[in-house]
Amino acid sequence: LFGFETNKVSGYFEPIEPSKEDLLLLPKGYQYDVVAAFDDVINEAGEKFGQGSDYNAFFPINGSNTHGLLVNNHEYTNIFSIGPIAENGKWTQEQIQKDLYYQGMSVIEIYQDTDGVWKMDTSSKHARRIHGSTPFELTGPARGSAVVGYATQAKGTFANCSGGVTFWKTVLSCEENFSETAERAGLPLTHYGWVVEIDPFDGSYLKKHTALGRFNHENTAMGLTADGRIVVYMGDDKKDACVYKFVSAGKYEASKGRANSALLEDGTLYVANLKSGKWAPVTYEAVSKLLAKSDFKAPAGVKGTRDELLARFGSQGDVVTNCHEAALIVGGTPTDRPEDIEISPFDNTVFISHTNNDSHGNIHGHITRIFEKDNDLGATEFDFEIFIAGGRQSGFSSPDNLAFDSSGNLWVVTDISSSSHNKGVYKTFQNNGLFVVPTHGPAKAEALQFASAPVESELTGPFFTPDENTLFLSVQHPGEMTTDLNKPTSLWPHRPGDPIARCGVVAIRGFKLG
């Protein structure tokens, strides 16, 4: 057995080898239950579990580790939900409606039965769908502004990738690649690309927080500054995009519960400048000061003349809505697809997955670690290192979602795109996987493979129960290269008689208390 420090969650496990099998493979002694899969009925109203399962968050009911609500993000649809697209590329009305319905989020109630098997309780009064037609309240600087058509509400959420849990036990869910769905459905683009907030126990609570910026949001990681304000770290999953943090104006007060959510409506958005080691404010004040200079030259990636930019950036609402360009103007450093971000519970350092960027030859990606000045998440200066690089030596490629366990191990899933699986320089990695990377101790920055994903899928949304006896994990887009429904390239989860592959959420068991 390969060991790293004995720890409660993973104990010692025998790392598995890369695999091409159409199975979710785990180390010896571990097993999984399929908790919910695409199109399963989730409640008595007959609502269906969505597609493209990504982020998971578990909320105990009455403090239980074996009964609670599970929130799951639904990122996108594919042939298994909407069927084949016509040869002319045109979607039917029915396909557009299905596309809106099967994205968004699911809240389901789950429990572990007397045999230890995780199951869904479809009689739940909390179970519900949030989808492309669910109305959301806009908050923050863009609410009611010209750039969103003076809207105070937005219709629906989609492209929900990863997310995060707030200190007041709500979920922040991130709208990532929203343009295609919005354009096909004729919805205004500026209503999407935000961070949305839902309360798993209160179906009426639905917000889009514009103060956190509009871009291709991957996830959120919430922490506290030394003086008690809220910090939210965020990645923009695009080639040559930036890393952000939002710092609230007011201080967090635990006794106020969900009312702390107002902190996400007023604060300062910063972008990381990796050359100066400074967080630059992405504000109307900063942008207009730079644009006021007659010799202003737009940095690479920002389109338009100075006059056009002056017209585009007339308010903080404009700045948060056109966030990527504003960030470049104030000196944000373009990076290689910043995806998931997690704050170490041990030392307040910040880990960022930079998945890859083939336009710069960063084929296998890396995980960056930020050290905030004086270890204060509110600092405006930082240093950083490449904590681990993808490639043959580390054994993984294209890191994506991250999760910490209480022993300081970073759990890392990979996102090699399905079209590259088992080809060229990606060959040795085979299917995508889940890796455990200790962040301290003798095995620091070594990647040990814990799971191998089914064919043409990626593992997403790792999330532990509070006692760390169960790990929830999504299996996203198995068989996504399928072009003929009669010849699916994957049949995961291999339910008897089921002719298609289904994404879904599994509960992994077998963790031994140390």
Decide if residue 415 touches Ca ion (CB under 5 A).
Answer: yes
Shortest CA distance to 436 belongs to which of 385, 395, 469, 470?
A: 395
Which C-beta is closer to ligand FEO: that of 109 or that of 400?
400
# of chain residues touching ligand FEO (CB under 6 A): 6
Find the binding residues for ligand FEO in span 56-85 (CB under 6 A). 75
Considering only 82, 100, 161, 232, the residue that binds ligand FEO (CB under 6 A) is 161
Decide if residue 242 touches ligand FEO (CB under 6 A).
Answer: no
Decide if residue 468 touches ligand FEO (CB under 6 A).
Answer: no
Decide if residue 33 touches ligand FEO (CB under 6 A).
Answer: no
Decide if residue 212 touches ligand FEO (CB under 6 A).
Answer: no
Shortest CA distance to 403 belongs to which of 444, 476, 459, 334?
A: 459
Which C-beta is closer to ligand FEO: that of 232 or that of 263?
232
What is the DSSP-derived secondary structure letter of residue 125? S
- For residue 284, give the 3-state DSSP assignment: helix
Q: Which residue has the tokens 């309780």?
A: 121
User: Angle at CA 199, nearest 5°, toward 237 and 342?
Assistant: 35
Torsion angle, alpha carbons of 65, 69, 73, 77, to 10: 110
Decide if residue 336 touches ligand FEO (CB under 6 A).
Answer: no
The residue nearest Ca ion at its CB is 415
- In the chain, what is the straight-line distance between the N-terminal and C-terminal CA atoms, in Å? 16
Evaluate the CA torsion angle 440, 441, 446, 447 in order and state its sign. negative
Considering only 33, 99, 199, 237, the residue that binds ligand FEO (CB under 6 A) is 237
Strand-strand pairing, 229-236 and 239-241: unpaired
Distance of CA 237 to the CA centre of its chain: 9
**75 binding partner (options Ca ion, ligand FEO, none; Cβ < 5 to 8 Å by kind):** ligand FEO
Which C-beta is closer to ligand FEO: that of 161 or that of 196?
161
Shortest CA distance to 176 belongs to which of 153, 158, 191?
A: 158
- Cβ atoms of 377 and 348 within 8 Å: the answer is yes
Decide if residue 372 touches ligand FEO (CB under 6 A).
Answer: no
Decide if residue 456 touches ligand FEO (CB under 6 A).
Answer: no
Shortest CA distance to 222 belongs to which of 191, 190, 255, 267?
A: 267
Taking the complex as a whole, the smallest distance from the CB of residue 471 to Ca ion amounts, in Å, to: 17
**325 binding partner (options ligand FEO, Ca ion, none; Cβ < 5 to 8 Å by kind):** none
Q: E strands within 190-286?
A: 195-199, 202-209, 217-224, 229-236, 239-241, 243-251, 267-273, 278-281
Taking the complex as a whole, the smallest distance from the CB of residue 340 to ligand FEO amounts, in Å, to: 8
Taking the complex as a whole, the smallest distance from the CB of residue 370 to Ca ion amounts, in Å, to: 19
Which C-beta is closer to ligand FEO: that of 54 or that of 199?
54
Decide if residue 218 touches ligand FEO (CB under 6 A).
Answer: yes
**176 binding partner (options ligand FEO, Ca ion, none; Cβ < 5 to 8 Å by kind):** ligand FEO
d(CA 327, CA 324): 5
Site string for ligand FEO, 285-324 (x = CB under 6 A): ----------------------------------------
**230 binding partner (options ligand FEO, Ca ion, none; Cβ < 5 to 8 Å by kind):** none
Taking the complex as a whole, the smallest distance from the CB of residue 112 to Ca ion amounts, in Å, to: 28
Which C-beta is closer to Ca ion: that of 37 or that of 161?
161
CA distances for 117 relative to 42, 95, 108, 112, 341, angstroms? 17, 35, 16, 5, 31
Residues forming contacts to Ca ion in the complex (CB under 5 A) are: 400, 415
Residues forming contacts to ligand FEO in the complex (CB under 6 A) are: 75, 161, 176, 218, 237, 339
